[in-house]
Structure 1
Amino acid sequence: MEKLKCIIADDEPIARQILESYIKEISSLELVAACKDAFEVMEQLQRNDVDLLFLDINMPKLSGLGLLKTLQKKPSVIITTAYPEHAVEGFELSVTDYLLKPFSMERFIQAVLKVQKKPMSIDSVSISPKEKTENFLFVKSDKKIIRLDFESIYYVEAYGNYIKIFTDQMILSPQTLSDFLEKLPEYFMRIHKSYIINFNKLKLIDGNQVVLANDKILTIGKSYRKQVLKKI
């Protein structure tokens, strides 16, 4: 399948990072540029064939809607904004979808599917394996999207269809332990059917238990013990 070439336009660095992380997960998308204002977008559109624009409204110098009004030939547009009051004007300018920040990965995929015009479910979207070059990832928790630095994690605990991520606080996120482990660097390891630990936070092993740097004590599952000792 031919990839959709896309551009991000948002003046907020964190917002750009979130979108970049989402785009990396979708194998049918190719990021051409991440722009901080409308004039950078204009330059990129002149230099590249672009299929899709993720566009913030509230940007300096020229707003996202102002940019759309200047473009004679424009790609498909998905608005990404914290301001719902511009939705009507956005759709009058023929945008494909209107995402209110903070939005989930699932909602992002739904918007992309509208651009692709394919009657597919979210579960059928091809998602590429996450590259482990970054030292953080974003997780959904309640109605928020939280940046999570890998080194801040002590351990992760299964909790039904959710996981509890323990840093200096506890973050509850709707995903499975196995799925989350695939997103983590190699220094994370499953030591029990219910636990993943950050080996950089390992303080000591005492029999069938580990003690982490925050003094949390966790049990090593019998079927995981050999693998844990081999890791050490």
Structure 2
Amino acid sequence: MKTLQCIIADDEPIARQILETYIEALPHLEICASCKNAFEVLEVLQVKTVDILFLDINMPKLSGLSLLKTMQQKPEVIITTAYPEYAIEGFELSVTDYLLKPFSLERFLQAVNKVQKNVKEETKIISTDREEATTSVFVKSDKKIIKINFDEISHIEAYGNYIKIFTDKMILTPQTLSDFLSKLPDSFIRIHKSFVINFNQLKLIDGNQIILQNDIKLPVGKSYKKELLDMI
């Protein structure tokens, strides 16, 4: 069973302690951060891959719901609050569950089980249909699993702990450029520390710049140019 990385976000020390106790009681959960406000959460998400965010609503400066509205990519979110009136808005923001304080370990476990079910379903979708995997790839983007055909991709751009995949639209997904490149066929080549292109989409090379069929211009890093020229 996969160990799920968790963030706690609550301005009340006692509330954080209760969640820490519950999480530590479950061997498949691990605390990667315990935060007092929304800004600390954002700092953690920039450097760590997180599976579950246990999020209080009533926090200083930036509320839990306001935090969710600012996030392009969200982990599984379990609201932990004393305010039932925000439940509808919470579910409209695609939270996994809504726990009203004080909640029992049993109720906490029910919420975690929902997360595990979602993770299993995502894994099942990604791991099925191996034949299709030779021409396409599945990626997670904003709580959705999206199938992308390789021949539809023009290029991929590194974006912090995420990558931007460009087809006829842009898809943002949480993984590194190197990891994603390892899933792609040989027609994809890295031309820069921040860019991978579909060689079949290459239109021309102009010095240290390439132009794709969609007229997108991208830089070519000096250390990558020889490999690019070798493919011609």
Which residue does 2:183 correspond to in 1?
A: none
- The CA deviation at 1:10 is 0.1
> Letter of the aligned partner of 1:58 in structure 2?
N
- Look up the match of 1:209: none
Distance in 2 of aligned mates of 1:22 and 1:46: 25
Separation in 2 of the partners of 1:74 and 1:87? 18
1:87-110 CA-to-partner distances (Å, cap 9, x unmatched) read 000000000000000000000000
Give the CA deviation at 1:81. Answer: 0.0
1:69 aligns with 69
In 2: Cα distance, 1:116 partner to 1:11 partner: 26
Q: Distance in 1 between matches of 2:13 and 2:35?
A: 10
Cα offsets for 1:15-40 (capped at 9, x unmatched): 00000000000011010000000000
* CA–CA separation in structure 2 for the residues paired with 1:12 and 1:19: 11
Quote the residue 1:21 is aligned against. Answer: 21
**1:107-162 CA-partner distances (Å, limit 9, x unpaired):** 000000000008xxxxxxxxxxxxxxxxxxxxxxxxxxxxxxxxxxxxxxxxxxxx
- Tell me the amino acid that sits aligned with residue 103 of structure 1: F
For 1:102 and 1:72, the matched residues in 2 are separated by 30
Give the residue type in structure 1 aligned to 2:18. Answer: I
Mapped to 2, the partners of 1:88 and 1:2 lie a distance apart of: 30
For residue 5 of structure 1, what is the amino acid of its counterpart?
Q
Runs of 4+ in 1 over 6 A off after TM superposition: none
SS in 1 for 2:66: helix
% identical aligned pairs: 75
Give, in angstroms, the shift of residue 52 of structure 1: 0.4
- The one-letter code of the counterpart of 1:18 is I
Gaps of at least 5 residues in structure 2 are 119-232
User: Equivalents in 1 of 2:86, 2:11: separation in Å?
Assistant: 18
Q: Give RMSD over aligned pairs.
A: 0.8
Report how far residue 2 of structure 1 moved. Answer: 1.5
The aligned residue for residue 98 of structure 1 is 98
Deviation at 1:47, TM superposition (A): 0.9
Structure 1 Cα separation of the partners of residues 18 and 33 of structure 2 = 14
Q: How does 1:181-220 map to 2 (within 5 A)?
A: none
Q: Which residue pairs with 2:58 in the alignment?
A: 58
Q: How many residues align?
A: 118
Cα deviation, residue 5, structure 1: 0.3
Which residue does the alignment assign to 1:140? none
- In the alignment, residue 24 of structure 2 is paired with which amino acid? K
Amino acid at match of 2:77: V
Query: Residues 117-136 of structure 1 correspond to what in structure 2 (within 5 A)?
Result: 117=117
Higher percent of residues as helix: 2
Q: Partner of 1:85 in structure 2?
A: 85
Offset from partner CA, 1:62-92 (integer Å, 9 cap, x none): 0000000000001000000000000000000
SS of residue in 1 equivalent to 2:111: helix
Distance in 1 between residues matched to 2:113 and 2:2, nearest whole Å? 14
What is the one-letter code of the residue matched to 2:53? L
Structure 2 CA distance for aligned equivalents of residues 31 and 2 of structure 1: 14
- Distance (whole Å) between structure 1 residues aligned to residue 117 and residue 2 of structure 2: 14
TM alignment of 1:104-123, pairs within 5 A: 104-117=104-117
The two structures have a TM-score, normalised by structure 2, of: 0.50
1:204 matched to which residue of 2?
A: none
CA distance, structure 1, for counterparts of residue 13 and residue 60 of structure 2 = 14
